[in-house]
Structures are given as structure tokens and as C-alpha cells.
Amino acid sequence: MENIALIESFSEFKDDKLIDRVTLMAILEDVFRNALKKKYGSDDNFDIIINPDKGDMEIWRNRVVVADGEVEDENSEISLSEARKIEPDFEVGEDVSEEVKLIQLGRRAILALRQNLISKIHEHDNTNLYKQFKDLIGEIYTAEVHHVRPKAVILVDDEGNEIVLPKEKQIPSDFFRKGDNVRGIIENVELKGNKPQIIMSRTSEKFLEKLFEQEIPEVFDGLIMIKKVVRIPGEKAKVAVDSYDDRIDPVGACVGMKGSRIHGIVRELGNENIDVINYTTNAQLFITRALSPAKVSSVKIDEEKKAAEVFLKLEEVSKAIGRGGHNIKLAGQLTGYELDVIREGNLAEEEDDVELTEFSDEIDGWVIEEFAKIGLDTARSILKQDVADLVRRTDLEEETILDVMRILKEEFED
């Protein structure tokens, strides 16, 4: 009964942990063999028969009968008199198989057996979990918010696996409550001791790429290829796409009618502004497209320095640079060139223009900085802009912008 009761308690793990029969038997045998080694010094001459489904187990010790007084190795040999206690007709040289009851190992050994089994099964679970999520690196995964901490959100999937979404892997506008479903990519799996730690990311370029695969059938089917993705999470992204089929417009297919296809992706990323661009191997054309929505006059490339001078009309400069310099930064990352903006304009006007910093006694420094962020650093470059457009592209109030324009106009009227 000792054997049966112990195996029944062990077999509970099979149901709790969903371990297959073969694996459970291998773990059980390994645990018992370790116990036998501690008790007898070796497990070489023991047979272990386990049937976890029925809840029974047998351990048989195999020894050779030797004459009384000639036993050299008690683990592999048994004296004739001892053998005949088992079966009275044994003779020297015969093999004896004797069943070993678990109780013979001692109560302490049985407790150690159970502890060892628990440890081995946890080790098995962790190894399987590590392998499972290693294969999912770079794939989109959904899990539920279990706990919100200052430096990370702890998620739990349908199988109870814990996934960590660190603060730096969250989009700045992300806000989560317990029970929310969260999508991201499995970015990494790390072993912390023997336990795997699964890291999710929502800021990775790969996440945006995989969202395109999920939401746009032509990308999923391979008709449209994503050549490169760059992004400033939650702010702006640029995606270069191409197609083997000339009949397919890759940009149109990705964006959809009135942005219908890309809208879900934008919403998922906290209203991140996404520019979809036709990829080309023509560097000048690619740079021109990457600086959209600005209209580029011309591009001069220095291949050796991997740099390019981009010539733009004065009214296009701020569009090329973008809010906070995001547009030109991402265009450079997308194309692989360091971009330098060269203004084109009326020579007389340029010579007559005044740097905005010259007005620092009348205009606050932080206001000048706000204009500089969108590429407006001279008086005329601001006066050419539409007030409503400036309100949209900066953090300035309309009243402040009108006041600045009044100051600048007075300069040229004087």
C-alpha cells in the first residue's frame, strides 16, 4: 500500500501539470533512482517498473548468490543463506530478484522523494515554457493585465503564464487597468534562475510590422513586403513598402480608402502618426519620398559620407523637419542618410530676413524654442505660415502666435 499511495500522490501532478505519461514516468524513475543511489550506493542492479495511470510501482533488486562468507559487494551479491530466506531452493551462482518496498528507504527518504519530484516537474515546466516562448519571439501575443506596477505591467495569458511589459516598452500614452487585454510582441525570454521571464514590447518596430501583417491581407499573403520600419513610439512612424506585382499599389493597399485599413493600427499605437512610403533603390527618390509631406526641390548625395543635402523652398522647410524634428529624424533613419536641410528662397528676402533669436528681448525663449522645433527660426519663415497651422503643429496658443507675428511684422514695417 505504501507504494500505491505514494504513486497515486505523484500521479496527481500528471493532471495538474498536463505532463504526458512518458515524461512523467521518466521523471519518476529518475527520482527513484537518485533515492536508491543514496541508500545503496548504486542503482545499476535495480529494475523500476512504474505505471502512473494505475497508480502502482515495483522496485526489484537483482543480485547473484554466492557462498556464505564470500560476499564482496552487498549491492550485487547475496549470501546463500540470505537467498534461501527468499526461496529455499536457491543455489550458488543463481540470480535473485527481490522486491524493495518504499518503506525500506525510510520516511525521510520518502519525503525527499516527493520534494525532488516537485523540483523536477517545475524544472520540466520551466524548460517547456522557455522553449515555447523562445519560438514566439517576434510574434504578436495577447494577455490580460494582472497587476500594474510603477516600472512594469504584469500580464497573464490564458494558460496562467506571467508576462512582463516594462515601462520603457510601453507607448507613452498607454494606460492600463486590471483586466484589460494588451497586445504586443514577445521581445525576449530570459532565464532568471531556473524560471523564464517573458518580456513583451509595444515600442518595437517589429510590433508595427506585425500589426501590418495582421491587418492588411496583402502583407500577410506576401504580395506587399515591408522593407523597413522606423518609429518614435506614440508620436510618428514611417513604413517603407514594396510589391513584386506592378498592378498593386502598396501604399494604397496599406492605407485603404480614407485610411480605413491603417486606422486600426494607428488606434492600437495611441494615435501614432504613420507615413507609408513606396520603397525604391533610387536613393534621391527614396529621400524625397521619406521627407513627405514636404515637397523637396532637389537632393545632393555624398555616398562616401552617407549624407545628403536636401534643398527645399522656405515654406516647405518646417514640414520637412516636422514637429519636434520627428519627420527629418525618421526620414534619415529610414533611408540611412544623414539629412541636411538647405533653404531655397528669394535672395533679397533671405538677406533681409532676421534670426528669431534677435527678438529674445520681446519674445520669450521657450516660444522661440517651440518655433525652432518645427524648423522655423527666422522672422520671414514664421510670417509665411498660416496661424491655424501653427496652432496645430506647436504647443502655442493662437493669441501667443498672433502676438509674435505682430512683433515680427513691425520689424519689417520699420
Res. 348 pLDDT band, cuts 50 70 90: very low
CATH number of the domain residue 94 falls in: 3.30.1480.10
State the CB neighbour count (10 A cutoff) for residue 78. Answer: 24
Backbone CA torsion sign across 226, 232, 237, 240 = negative
- Which pLDDT belongs to residue 49? 78
Model confidence at 128: pLDDT above 80: no
CATH number of the domain residue 384 falls in: 1.10.150
- 13-27: per-residue pLDDT in tens? 544 455 556 666 777
Model confidence at 201: pLDDT above 70: yes
What is the total count of domains within the chain? 4
* Domain limits for position 355: 347-413
Q: Is the pTM of this model over 0.75?
A: no
CATH number of the domain residue 194 falls in: 2.40.50.140
- Pair (67, 11) in one structural domain: yes
Model confidence at 289: pLDDT above 90: yes
Backbone CA torsion sign across 110, 115, 121, 127 = negative
- Pair (327, 215) in one structural domain: yes
- Pair (279, 333) in one structural domain: yes
- Contact status, residue 157 vs residue 143, Cβ threshold 8 Å: yes
Mean pLDDT estimate for the chain: 83
CATH number of the domain residue 296 falls in: 3.30.300.20
Q: Which amino acid does the sequence have at 28?
A: L
- 211-252: per-residue pLDDT in tens? 999 999 999 999 999 999 999 999 999 999 999 888 889 999
Q: What would the grid cell of residue 304 be?
A: 562616401
- Pair (247, 330) in one structural domain: yes
- Pair (292, 217) in one structural domain: yes
Model confidence at 161: pLDDT above 90: no
- Contact status, residue 219 vs residue 213, Cβ threshold 8 Å: yes
- 43-88: per-residue pLDDT in tens? 888 887 776 555 567 788 888 888 887 887 777 788 888 888 888 8
- Pair (226, 265) in one structural domain: yes
- Pair (82, 97) in one structural domain: yes
- Pair (290, 222) in one structural domain: yes
- Which pLDDT belongs to residue 173? 92
Model confidence at 397: pLDDT above 80: yes
Mean pLDDT for the stretch of residues 333-361: 78
- Pair (215, 321) in one structural domain: yes
Closest CA to 300 of 317, 315, 288: 288
The residue among 59 and 186 whose pLDDT is bigger is 186
Among 58-67, 96-105, 162-171, 297-306, which stretch is predicted with the lowest mean pLDDT? 96-105
Spatial separation of the C-alpha atoms in residues 234 and 215, rounded to whole Å: 19
- Which pLDDT belongs to residue 124? 64
- Which pLDDT belongs to residue 89? 82
Res. 306 pLDDT band, cuts 50 70 90: very high
Which of 303, 325, 343 lies at the terminal end of a domain, its last residue? 343
Among 48-52, 302-306, 335-339, 406-410, which stretch is predicted with the lowest mean pLDDT? 48-52
Res. 347 pLDDT band, cuts 50 70 90: very low
The residue among 41 and 106 whose pLDDT is bigger is 41
- Pair (102, 216) in one structural domain: no
Output DSSP code: residue 73.
-
Which of 131, 149, 173 lies at the terminal end of a domain, its last residue? 131
- Pair (112, 31) in one structural domain: yes
CB neighbour list of residue 26: distance below 8 Å, 6 or more residues apart: none
Closest CA to 376 of 396, 362, 347: 396
Res. 109 pLDDT band, cuts 50 70 90: low
- Which pLDDT belongs to residue 154? 94
Which of 74, 102, 131 lies at the terminal end of a domain, its last residue? 131
- Pair (91, 122) in one structural domain: yes
Question: Among 45-49, 202-206, 297-301, which range has the highest average pLDDT?
Answer: 202-206
Closest CA to 57 of 96, 10, 105, 14: 10
Res. 163 pLDDT band, cuts 50 70 90: very high
